[in-house]
């Protein structure tokens, strides 16, 4: 498709331009995010936020949070197709959430594997690693639409878990720390 945004364009142009265009909501904390997109059309990018400005470079390195996703799933998210949204890669701030990564996120160590099911086709999968730590490890399985509702504050994650919409395998304590950190 001629109108399709590539991973390179998304991480090198769209995200930094969006960050610069919304200084009120931009992160106030210095942090580095890494994105590793596997497969054809993939690559790796480091997004460094410092002094309220974002710089992007190709490659990998030490990061507060590293997102790993297939090129197919990244393209779905970047181009908002097959039920996916850019918010799956660059999470929006929830209502009432302050700008910045916060000390709670900076203290997280571990990995969350998200398995986001879709009504048709393969699940959207993304691995989110905090501070380069492979363990503890937690796997979440939830419908992609329900994940979007939680990210937008329209669904309570605890309620989703209690009603069976959100399934958690692995280290439940770590998952609770992630939930508290992301909601701080």
Confidence of residue 2 (pLDDT cuts 50, 70, 90): low
Mean pLDDT within 88-107 = 69
Q: pLDDT tens digits for 66-85?
A: 999 999 999 999 999 999 99
Q: pLDDT tens digits for 124-178?
A: 999 999 999 999 999 999 999 999 888 888 898 889 999 999 999 999 999 888 8
CATH number of 7-19+28-182: 3.30.1050.10
pTM passes above 0.95: no
Asked if residues 83 and 121 have their Cβ atoms less than 8 Å apart, the reply is: no
- Give me the residue label for tokens 């304590």: 173
At residue 126, φ and ψ (nearest 5 deg) are -145, 135
How far is Cα 182 from Cα 184, in angstroms, rounded to an integer? 6
């Amino acid at each position: 498709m001629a109108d399709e945004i590539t991973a390179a364009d998304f991480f090198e142009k769209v995200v930094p331009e969006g960050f610069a265009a919304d200084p009120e909501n931009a992160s106030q904390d210095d942090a580095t995010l890494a994105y590793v997109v596997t497969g054809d059309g993939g690559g790796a990018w480091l997004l460094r936020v410092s002094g309220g400005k974002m710089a992007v470079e190709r490659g990998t390195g030490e990061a507060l949070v590293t997102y790993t996703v297939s090129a197919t799933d990244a393209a779905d998210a970047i181009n908002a197709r097959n039920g996916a949204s850019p918010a799956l890669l660059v999470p929006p701030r929830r209502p009432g959430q302050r700008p910045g990564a916060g000390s709670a996120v900076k203290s997280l160590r571990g990995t969350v594997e998200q398995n986001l099911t879709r009504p048709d086709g393969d699940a959207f999968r993304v691995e989110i690693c905090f501070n380069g730590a492979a363990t503890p490890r937690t796997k979440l399985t939830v419908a992609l639409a329900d994940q979007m509702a939680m990210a937008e504050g329209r669904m309570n994650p605890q309620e989703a878990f209690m009603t069976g919409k959100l399934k958690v395998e692995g280290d439940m304590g770590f998952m609770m720390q992630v939930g508290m950190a992301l909601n701080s």
